[in-house]
């Protein structure tokens, strides 16, 4: 039976097995759907629990349990061999979900475009970018599939589809993405003069620390500010890069570690609540 | 011909950059247009890469070229996400999301053990010198310098005080607790100042790369870092 | 109106501060910090029979920092002939990594498939890392073009995590936590990170505990690494750009001091005017 299921198929057999598996999956979901509504939450709770239990059990069960003696996979237990298929299945499932993001964006931008609302030109820009990049990207990818040598790949890049791809990716996408985040630098400069006010001793401490770290990070601090102090001299601890390094690796490190402990508590609490389906909220509490 | 395309691509980059920078002058339709264009391009590119790097290599080739038909079940399971759009079937999307979240929750316990637990171990640092007035005090850490000793005490003080600051489950009644939490607040200011100092450098680096492209080197068509 | 004018003047000042070193050609050599030095030593110490994994999780918005870091590391890896694989849990990182590696491979004569490989973009990072922690080759299976890893000479002898000499995560986000939790921690593989500068503060506890062996602190880290690979006086991108970043830092410090001084003077004038 195991061999029947895990033997690769080809030709008509493959088509039958593929259709059959989809049909079987659909039937299983239909059977679950046919159950009374009150069971649906428990099915979800069960699946969530078993999924979490798999990874937890695989981690805590000692190495060698359920594995033949003398096996080459000394760190494994009887659950470890399922990590790879679960990982692959999860990757495929998450990849299929990407379409949802596209659908939502299309829905949000489709309404202004179809109804001629103000800003429809922006929605048109969205769809133009989406369709152009998808079509050109997939066409180029398909052409590259058949290009197995560097010369063939260069030929694809020199063709129209390659040129268009570089126009969209290198010309538009990369520059637009980089510049959106670069705007923040200008806002910081504006805020530095207009908003950063040292109205308390804590704020002053924060700003002095920031000044030291900023000057220690960039070459101008160590070179021109404290470059006159020779390395190895008893006073070299006062070199701005050493002070900055000390601030980062001692007080900052200790404070961040304390934050990590708090995060750790939160991760444990939240993971337990999700795993045991104790979480409440719009998503978790919905009933059909 | 390639020079023409290169010129067009560089011009497109320059126009895109200036269009986004136009927001610095004031809000305008050109900026909005290019912002939406960017979102569309990003969405399209994500779609292309999801197919080419993930679905094609991990699903299409195994199923349709190697005959591993069972991966079709994973694809079918992924389609359950889309039942969220059909009210009657929406519970199936929660089934799938719950399963994925269960996997992540189960994995999180490993995260606590392998990522966070070593932090607890690393917090226990030697607080006494190896020798005191010629008498051996501790056998381990024989090379502990006085600077490291001072740093260890500073780390301990800051760690305890910052943790005390974040104890919100009970009121800080005693003066010791209040003063310790207050010290924690001051130490957090040092950490925030360090974060601010680093953040400034991060943002400036991005602006530098953009102006480099505009003013100096447009040849770097590998991306805006060029 | 006045506020707008002030804002525009400030923006122009920033642009001038950035652009001035471009045209004067001034480059201030960086001072190499302990974290970059430690990462350099860790890369040098990777044996030739092991592979280095470069996990590239950046996007277009952080290329200004992450790309120079990638370039500096790839230059070092290719110069010293170390095998490496690029991959990413975000779509764009491996694409840019491929572009940079293609360019540097021509410079250092390190052909694809023999010295380096692109495993491409992967989703489900927790599950993928857990699978990799048992068998790297079986979890990845193909490169980004669908070529089986077994057909690539660079992957010869690379199976378990023991065959990975170092993982370097170049990222603007927290994927390094997943790497530590599910791969480098359980499999006891060395790990380093090249984050954007925003996240540098968060990494120090892991450096202190030994969970990370080194770090490149944003663009400054990239410049320091370039100084180690090419020398302090080289004109690599990170070193060149850091001079402009220096000017911007001086500008910001000056503006903060000026802004606060202006407010203090204004407040005092009001107080004097009030009591007069």
- A178-192 in b/e form (b: 16+ CB < 10 A) is bbbbbbbbbebbbeb
C170: CATH: 3.40.50.450
Are A91 and C124 a contacting pair, CB within 8 Å? yes
Look up residue B11 and give its two tokens.
Answer: 């011009």
State the pLDDT at residue A187.
Answer: 93
Query: Mean pLDDT over all residues of chain A?
Result: 90
Are B100 and B94 a contacting pair, CB within 8 Å? no
User: C205: buried, middle or exposed (CB in 10 Å: 19+, 13-18, 0-12)?
Assistant: buried
CA distance A212 to C3: 30
Taking the CB of residue A146, how many other CB atoms lie within 10 A of it?
8
Same domain, C126 and C6: no
Count of positions (residues) in chain C: 276
State the pLDDT at residue B225.
Answer: 42
A98/chain C closest Cα distance in angstroms: 10
Helix axes C2-24, B175-215, angle to 10 degrees: 70
Tokens 């909005």 belong to which residue?
B32
Phi, psi for A286 (deg, rounded to 5): -65, 135
Are C154 and C113 a contacting pair, CB within 8 Å? yes
Residue A37: strand, helix, or coil: coil
Query: Mean pLDDT over all residues of chain C?
Result: 93
CA distance C197 to A252: 14
Reported as a single tens digit per residue, the pLDDT across B121-147 is: 999 998 888 777 777 666 666 778 888
Same domain, C58 and C154: yes
B42/chain A closest Cα distance in angstroms: 7
pLDDT beyond 60 at A18: yes
H or E segment and range at residue B191? helix B175-215
CA distance C110 to C77: 10
CB contact under 8 A, B103 and C142: no
Which residues of A fall within a CB distance of 8 Å from B184?
258
CB contact under 8 A, C252 and A192: yes
Q: Nearest chain C Cα to A95, which residue?
A: C123
Residue B111: strand, helix, or coil: helix
**pLDDT-derived band of residue A287, with 50, 70 and 90 as boundaries?**
very low
Say if A225 falls within a structural domain: yes
State the pLDDT at residue B223.
Answer: 41
Those of residues 61-80 in A touching chain B at CB distance below 8 A are none
Which of the residue ranges A66-80, C140-154, C175-189 would you say has the lowest mean pLDDT?
A: A66-80
Say if A8 falls within a structural domain: yes
Reported as a single tens digit per residue, the pLDDT across B31-82 is: 999 999 999 999 999 999 999 989 999 999 999 999 999 999 999 999 999 9
CB contact under 8 A, B116 and A260: yes
State the pLDDT at residue A283.
Answer: 56
State the pLDDT at residue A288.
Answer: 42
> How would DSSP label each residue in A179-219?
HHHHHHHHHHHHHHHHT----SHHHHHHHHHHHHHHHHHST
Query: Quick one: average pLDDT of A222-241?
Result: 91
Pairing between β-strand B135-136 and β-strand B131-132 as defined by DSSP bridges:
antiparallel
Cα B84–B85–B89 angle (5° rounding)?
60
Q: Nearest chain A Cα to B114, which residue?
A: A59
Same domain, C51 and C11: no
pLDDT beyond 70 at C1: no
CA distance B82 to A107: 14
State the pLDDT at residue A281.
Answer: 64
Same domain, C202 and C256: no
**Count of CB pairs separated by less than 8 Å, B with C:** 168
The domain total for chain C is 2
Same domain, C115 and C46: yes
pLDDT beyond 50 at C10: yes
Residue C248 has, within 13 A of its CA and on its CB side, a CA count of: 31
pLDDT beyond 80 at B152: yes
State the pLDDT at residue B224.
Answer: 40
pLDDT beyond 70 at C274: no
Q: Which residues contact C26 (CB under 8 A, 6 or more apart)?
A: C20, C243
Same domain, C118 and C214: yes
Which of the residue ranges A52-56, B8-12, C2-6 would you say has the lowest mean pLDDT?
A: C2-6
Same domain, C166 and C42: yes
Say if A182 falls within a structural domain: no
CA distance A230 to A221: 14
Residue C220: strand, helix, or coil: helix
Same domain, C194 and C248: no
Are C101 and C67 a contacting pair, CB within 8 Å? no
Phi-psi region of A151 (alpha: psi -120 to 50; beta: other; left: phi over 0): alpha
Rg (CA), chain C: 22
H or E segment and range at residue A110? helix A83-115
Tokens 């992967």 belong to which residue?
C122
Tokens 């490149």 belong to which residue?
C216
Phi, psi for A110 (deg, rounded to 5): -70, -35
Which residues of C fall within a CB distance of 8 Å from B207?
14, 18, 64, 248
The domain total for chain A is 2
Say if A74 falls within a structural domain: no
Are C163 and C48 a contacting pair, CB within 8 Å? no
Residue B223: strand, helix, or coil: coil
Which residues of B fall within a CB distance of 8 Å from C11?
24
C156/chain A closest Cα distance in angstroms: 18
pLDDT beyond 90 at B158: yes
Reported as a single tens digit per residue, the pLDDT across A117-167 is: 888 999 999 999 999 999 999 999 999 998 888 899 899 999 999 999 999
Which residues of B fall within a CB distance of 8 Å from C201?
191, 194-195, 198
Domain span including residue C147: 34-232
Say if A26 falls within a structural domain: yes
Same domain, C188 and C266: no
Sign of CA dihedral C19, C20, C26, C27: negative
Say if A103 falls within a structural domain: no
pLDDT beyond 70 at A178: yes
Reported as a single tens digit per residue, the pLDDT across C56-115 is: 998 888 999 999 999 999 999 999 999 999 999 998 999 999 999 999 999 999 999 999
Cα B204–B208–B212 angle (5° rounding)?
175
Same domain, C6 and C39: no
Query: Quick one: average pLDDT of B158-167?
Result: 92
CB contact under 8 A, B199 and C197: yes
Domain span including residue A234: 201-288
Of B57, B110, B222, the CB nearest to C96: B222
- Biggest CA-to-CA distance, chain A: 82
State the pLDDT at residue B222.
Answer: 39
Name the β-bridge partners of C121.
C88
Cα A191–A196–A202 angle (5° rounding)?
150
CA distance A167 to A181: 21
Which residues of B fall within a CB distance of 8 Å from C95?
49
Among B137, B125, B184, which Cα is nearest to B159's? B184
Taking the CB of residue A140, how many other CB atoms lie within 10 A of it?
24
- C226-237 in b/e form (b: 16+ CB < 10 A) is bbbbbebeeebb
CB contact under 8 A, C241 and B209: yes
Say which DSSP state C53 is in.
Answer: E
Are B144 and B153 a contacting pair, CB within 8 Å? no
CA distance B131 to B136: 4
Say if C237 falls within a structural domain: no
Same domain, C189 and C263: no
Say if A130 falls within a structural domain: no
Are A175 and B213 a contacting pair, CB within 8 Å? yes
Q: What percent of chain C is modeled with pLDDT above 90?
A: 86
Look up residue B52 and give its two tokens.
Answer: 């080419």
Same domain, C65 and C7: no
């Amino acid at each position: 039976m195991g061999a029947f299921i895990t033997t690769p198929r080809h030709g008509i057999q493959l088509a039958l097995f593929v259709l059959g598996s989809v049909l079987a999956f659909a039937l299983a979901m239909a059977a679950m759907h046919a159950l009374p509504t009150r069971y649906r939450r428990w099915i979800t709770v069960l699946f969530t629990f078993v999924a979490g239990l798999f990874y937890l059990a695989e981690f805590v069960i000692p190495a060698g349990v359920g594995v033949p003696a003398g096996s080459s996979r000394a760190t494994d237990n009887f659950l470890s061999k399922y990590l790879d298929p679960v990982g692959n299945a999860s990757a495929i499932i998450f990849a299929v979900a990407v379409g949802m993001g596209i659908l939502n964006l299309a829905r949000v931008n489709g309404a202004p475009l179809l109804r001629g609302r103000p800003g429809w030109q922006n929605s048109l820009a969205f769809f133009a970018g989406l369709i152009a990049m998808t079509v050109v990207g997939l066409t180029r990818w398909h052409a590259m599939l058949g290009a197995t040598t560097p010369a063939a790949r260069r030929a694809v890049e020199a063709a129209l589809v390659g040129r268009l791809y570089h126009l969209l990716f290198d010309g538009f996408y990369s520059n637009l993405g980089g510049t959106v985040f670069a705007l923040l630098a200008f806002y910081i400069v504006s805020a530095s003069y207009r908003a950063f006010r040292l109205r308390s001793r804590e704020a002053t401490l924060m700003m002095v620390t920031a000044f030291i770290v900023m000057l220690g990070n960039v070459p101008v601090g160590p070179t021109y500010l404290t470059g006159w102090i020779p390395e190895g001299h008893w006073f070299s601890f006062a070199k701005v890069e050493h002070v900055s390094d000390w601030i980062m690796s001692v007080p900052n490190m200790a404070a961040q570690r304390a934050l990590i402990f708090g995060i750790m508590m939160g991760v444990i609490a939240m993971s337990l609540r999700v795993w045991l389906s104790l979480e409440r909220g719009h998503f978790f509490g919905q009933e059909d | 011909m390639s020079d023409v395309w290169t010129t067009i691509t560089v011009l497109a980059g320059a126009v895109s950059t200036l269009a986004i920078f136009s927001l610095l002058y004031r809000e305008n339709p050109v900026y909005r247009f290019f912002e939406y264009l960017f979102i569309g391009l990003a969405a399209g590119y994500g779609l292309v890469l999801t197919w080419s790097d993930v679905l094609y290599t991990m699903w299409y080739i195994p199923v349709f070229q190697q005959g591993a038909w069972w991966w079709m079940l994973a694809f079918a399971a992924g389609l359950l996400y889309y039942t969220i759009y059909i009210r009657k079937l929406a519970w199936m999307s929660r089934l799938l999301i719950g399963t994925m979240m269960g996997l992540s929750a189960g994995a999180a316990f490993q995260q606590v053990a392998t990522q966070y637990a070593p932090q607890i171990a690393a917090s226990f640092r030697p607080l006494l010198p190896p020798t005191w007035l010629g008498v051996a005090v501790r056998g381990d850490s024989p090379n502990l310098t006085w600077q490291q000793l001072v740093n260890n005490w500073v780390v301990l003080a800051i760690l305890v005080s910052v943790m005390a600051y974040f104890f919100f489950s009970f009121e800080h009644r005693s003066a010791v607790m209040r003063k310790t939490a207050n010290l924690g607040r001051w130490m957090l200011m040092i950490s925030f100042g360090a974060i601010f100092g680093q953040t400034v450098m991060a943002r400036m680096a991005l602006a530098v790369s953009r102006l480099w492209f505009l003013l100096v080197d447009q040849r770097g068509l590998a991306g805006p870092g060029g | 109106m006045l506020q707008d004018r002030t804002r525009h003047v400030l923006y122009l000042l920033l642009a001038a501060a950035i652009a001035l070193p471009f045209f004067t050609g001034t480059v201030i050599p960086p001072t190499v910090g302990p974290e970059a030095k430690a990462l350099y030593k860790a890369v040098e110490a990777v044996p030739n029979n092991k592979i280095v994994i470069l996990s590239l999780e950046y996007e277009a918005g952080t290329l200004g920092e992450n790309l120079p870091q990638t370039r500096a590391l790839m230059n070092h890896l290719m110069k010293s002939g170390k095998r490496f694989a690029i991959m990413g849990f975000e779509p764009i990182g491996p694409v840019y990594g491929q572009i940079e590696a293609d360019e540097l491979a021509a410079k250092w004569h390190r052909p694809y498939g023999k010295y380096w490989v692109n495993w491409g973009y992967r989703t489900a990072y927790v599950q993928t890392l857990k699978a990799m922690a048992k068998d790297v080759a079986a979890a990845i299976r193909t490169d980004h073009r669908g070529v089986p890893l077994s057909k690539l000479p660079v992957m010869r002898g690379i199976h378990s995590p023991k065959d990975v000499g170092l993982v370097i995560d170049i990222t603007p986000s927290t994927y390094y936590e997943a790497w530590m939790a599910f791969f480098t921690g359980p499999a006891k593989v060395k790990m380093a990170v090249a984050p954007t500068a925003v996240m540098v503060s968060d990494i120090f506890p892991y450096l202190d505990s030994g969970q990370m062996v080194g770090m490149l602190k944003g663009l400054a880290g990239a410049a320091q690494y370039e100084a180690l690979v090419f020398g302090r006086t080289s004109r690599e991108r990170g070193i060149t750009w850091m001079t402009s970043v220096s000017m911007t830092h001086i500008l910001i410090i000056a503006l903060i001091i000026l802004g606060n001084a202006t407010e203090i003077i204004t407040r005092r004038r009001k107080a004097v005017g009030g009591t007069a």
